[in-house]
Amino acid sequence: MSPSDRKIGISQSHAILIPLPLQGHINPMMQLAWKLVSHGFLITFVNTETNHQRIIKANKDQSLHDSGDMIRMVSVADGLAPDDSQSFVVKFFAEVENALGPSVIDKLIRNINEKEGDQKVSCIVADVWTCFGLHTVAKLHHISLAVFNTSLVSNFAILYFSPKLVSLGILPSDGIPKEDKTKKYLSSLPPLKSAHLPWLYGGEDMFRHAIRMVKEINKIEWVIFNTFYEQEPVVLDEMSKEMSVFPIGPLISPDFLDGDRNTERRLVPSLLKPEAECLEWLEKQAEQSVIYVSFGSYAALNKLQMEELSVALEATHRPFLWVVRSDTMDSCQSVFSPGFLERIIDRGCIVSWAPQLRVLSHPAIACFVTHCGWNSVQESITMGVPMLCWPYFADQFLNSTYIVDVWKVGLALNANNNGLIEREEFTKAIERLLVAEEGTAIREEMRKLNKIARDTVKEGGSSSNNFKLFLNAITKRVN
Ligand code: UDX
């Protein structure tokens, strides 16, 4: 639909998108927004006020109106901080529910519908973690409601089936296994250590919240995933028996899929300002020579591990680009090995936030040392970069299992008994990945998976077909 069609009032689908207010959830929701825009949708993208301001500040060189007014960024008040005695999981999710709960979204829809004539809101797409109570709002306004699970299906599946696992006695009622065993929790999943179950970082509270989320999802008709069928076929077949699932990933900007990585036209809603200078530095490096190290927007290494990693990177004698977020250290000098910054000046580049997609698509990148956040994984696969896995929490252990054991596109870094990844472990893994025959096989597997990932979003590919089915579903008349 052209802007002139909009002016003369031809009716258009208008979706409200509600991400969980975290970087790893805002990014894929924005990619979904762009995909919907390319199919004629008008988008209202809802951020909490703090994040909205951070996005404006971090992206002030890039106009938020690059979307040609098809994506309207709106903000709602941040949730009130609940009682300090509560755990961080309870606090965070309570804040989310205060900020993005049904009464807030209802009010937002009423305001939009009063103002915008023909472009009334026709559907809501909420993150699985922001969908609480929204089925009542959708019903009230006679609009469709879908949820978006931004991580891999297998992670969702283990949460979804956890009440059943409790009733079968496979999981205790509080979700915290008493002994550490590796087992197949679901027949469709690879074996997983019980210490790596995705809710354990938030303990019992997180488990209870996940079960609440599952109950909520059961009231909602459609679930979309930032994955592609060929990535997790068995578990997707299992989930489709339960609900209408649409694997539509990888959700990556077509600017990158089309190979034109220098003309990024679409807004990347970074909460931190990317240091684009690292791209100039990358230009000076040899092809496939650079180790890219990043742990996403949340994970943080402790001081001892930071120092050990700095020694390890130096010991590889290879160029590296390392993202060290400013919130993860008190002062640079005190967390790196003594004299580190002076010694690596010729072959190391340290930034506080990188333009990650541009980095991963750069020919100089040889491998990605990653915490295995799902966006990083999908981005690495779509850019064909093999990974060294350093999972930290939540879905990341499961993601790492898929990378190493199922798709065989990366290697695991193993910690010692004190939980430290030692320099020898790191340098050996780098050599295995970049020099040994093992690495050649991994790169070959990555080439294959990369091709599948790119083909799946092309016309006729499984994700492209699923996206069309999803569009049909959410644009059908709702009574
Ligand atoms: C969180 C969880 O930790 C993760 O396990 C879950 O799968 C998604 O939500 P996060 O830890 O931030 O995400 O990691 P990730 O999923 O990789 O998302 C980070 C995003 O920030 C990516 O899109 C990445 O491209 C971007 N990023 C990261 C940058 O743009 N620059 C950086 O320097 C680092």
261 pLDDT exceeds 60? no
Atom of ligand 1 nearest to the CA of 370: 17
Name the pLDDT band for 90 (thresholds 50, 70, 90). Answer: confident
Q: Which of 376, 379, 385, 400, when mutated, tests ligand 1's pocket best, judged by the most ligand atoms within 8 Å of its CB?
A: 376
356 pocket-lining for ligand 1 (C-beta < 6 Å): yes
**pLDDT attached to residue 254:** 80
Atom of ligand 1 nearest to the CA of 299: 11
Atom of ligand 1 nearest to the CA of 23: 12
**pLDDT attached to residue 51:** 94
Q: Looking at ligand 1, which residue's alpha carbon is closest to its atom 29?
A: 356
**pLDDT attached to residue 112:** 95
Task: Name which of 110-124, 147-161, 340-354, 403-417 the model is least confident about.
Answer: 110-124
Query: What's the CA-to-centroid distance between 475 and ligand 1, angstroms?
Result: 31
Name the strands in the sheet holding 387-389, side by side, starting at the edge strand that comes first in the sequence. Answer: 348-351, 320-323, 290-294, 365-370, 387-389, 410-412
375 pLDDT exceeds 70? yes
79 pocket-lining for ligand 1 (C-beta < 6 Å): no
For the segment 421-456, what is each residue's pLDDT rounded down to a tens digit? 999 999 999 999 999 999 999 999 999 999 999 999
CA proximity to 320, closest of 427, 394, 211: 427
81 pLDDT exceeds 90? no
Percent of the chain with pLDDT over 90: 82
Query: What's the CA-to-centroid distance between 376 and ligand 1, angstroms?
Result: 6
Name the pLDDT band for 268 (thresholds 50, 70, 90). Answer: confident
**pLDDT attached to residue 257:** 77
Query: What's the CA-to-centroid distance between 19 and ligand 1, angstroms?
Result: 14
Average pLDDT, the chain: 92
Query: What's the CA-to-centroid distance between 165 and ligand 1, angstroms?
Result: 30
> Between these two residues, 119 and 233, which has the higher pLDDT value?
233
> Between these two residues, 86 and 301, which has the higher pLDDT value?
301
374 pLDDT exceeds 90? yes
41 contacts 146 by C-beta, under 8 angstroms: no
For the segment 195-250, what is each residue's pLDDT rounded down to a tens digit? 999 999 999 999 999 999 999 999 999 999 999 999 999 999 999 999 999 999 99
Q: Looking at ligand 1, which residue's alpha carbon is closest to its atom 9?
A: 24
**pLDDT attached to residue 6:** 45
pTM beyond cutoff 0.80: yes
For the chain, what's the residue count? 479
Q: Can you tell me the mean pLDDT for 74-81?
A: 87
| CA 431 – CA 436 distance, rounded (Å) | 6
Name the pLDDT band for 3 (thresholds 50, 70, 90). Answer: very low
Name the pLDDT band for 80 (thresholds 50, 70, 90). Answer: confident
**pLDDT attached to residue 164:** 96
